[in-house]
Amino acid sequence: MIKVCAIASGSNGNCYYIGTEKEAILVDAGISRRQVMKRMKELRLDISKVKAVFISHEHSDHIKGLRVLCDMHDIDAYLTRDTLQKAHRNYHPKTAHVFTAGDSVKVGAFTIHSFSKQHDAIDPTSFRVEVEGQNIGVMTDIGLACDNTKQHLSQCNIVFLESNYDEQLLEEGPYPYYLKQRVKSDHGHLSNKQAVELVEQVENPKLKTIFLSHISADNNRVDIAMKAFEHLANQYNILPTNRYAPSEILCVGEEQLVLFSQ
């Protein structure tokens, strides 16, 4: 049985859990250790099963909890050399394993396939995690869905996919002009519309579940993001994530089912 959920997802912090009965990994650690522990306890997930944390890039909402979490629980950290060097020193764990985008890293039963993406960071990567015959993608903070993203999405059974902003809300919202331009640039974030178009463009009969992820607090709403995907609801299990609480857990065995987090 594989368990998959978002511990946190949003510009205030990101952390994604993928685990088996015996072991688990996290992708990103952008919330405090205290919040990771609190939210995992709510979901009855055991931190002692977590063997590694993979970091997508150096922005604080993806890395700020890394040092304390890894050092206190003896968890291995994995990130690219440039990401490690660019990250604030307060986020550096005692021991860090360096990989190069494009590498596949083996951790227990997991094979973590890394690949470059377009975002305004020094060396941003996304991940496809292969375990027990399932492929789970973590694909957020993407300005433009490049060929790497499409190729790995075409292999996923489950994906955490960025659906960051609604175009109208962004244009009418409080962000200054330069920040609006940054968000919608090819090195910013995917809109609801772009996320839908990506799913429609990539032919993948294996894809069953899409977690709508990194939903903006200022430029989007969960109901708007869900509505954008409404016409795909007969084809996919569409689940929202939350910046303030963990998502539902998706349990994958012989069949897929959703367990509520509360």
**What was the pLDDT predicted at 262?**
45
180: CB partners within 8 A, 6+ apart: 170, 171, 173
Calculated CA dihedral for residues 48, 21, 53, 241, nearest 10 degrees:
-110
For 123-162, the pLDDT digits (tens) are 999 999 999 999 999 999 999 999 999 999 999 999 999 9
Residue listed under structure tokens 């962000």: 175
Question: 24-27 and 50-54 as β-strands: parallel, antiparallel, unpaired?
Answer: parallel
**What was the pLDDT predicted at 258?**
55
How far apart (Å, rounded) are the C-alpha atoms in residues 19 and 21? 7
Q: Which residues in the chain come in under a pLDDT of 70? A: 254-262
83: CB partners within 8 A, 6+ apart: 55, 57, 58, 63, 121, 122, 123, 125
Edge-to-edge strands, sheet with 134-139: 104-107, 110-116, 125-131, 134-139, 158-162, 209-213, 237-240
Edge-to-edge strands, sheet with 50-54: 96-99, 76-80, 50-54, 24-27, 15-19, 2-8, 249-252, 256-259
For 36-67, the pLDDT digits (tens) are 999 999 999 999 999 999 999 999 999 999 99
**What was the pLDDT predicted at 253?**
80
> Please, are residues 76 and 97 in contact by the beta-carbon 8 Å criterion?
yes
**Greatest alpha-carbon span in the chain:** 49
DSSP letter for 47, please: G
Q: Which domains does the chain have, with CATH numbers?
A: 2-259 (3.60.15.10)
pTM: 0.96
**What was the pLDDT predicted at 256?**
55
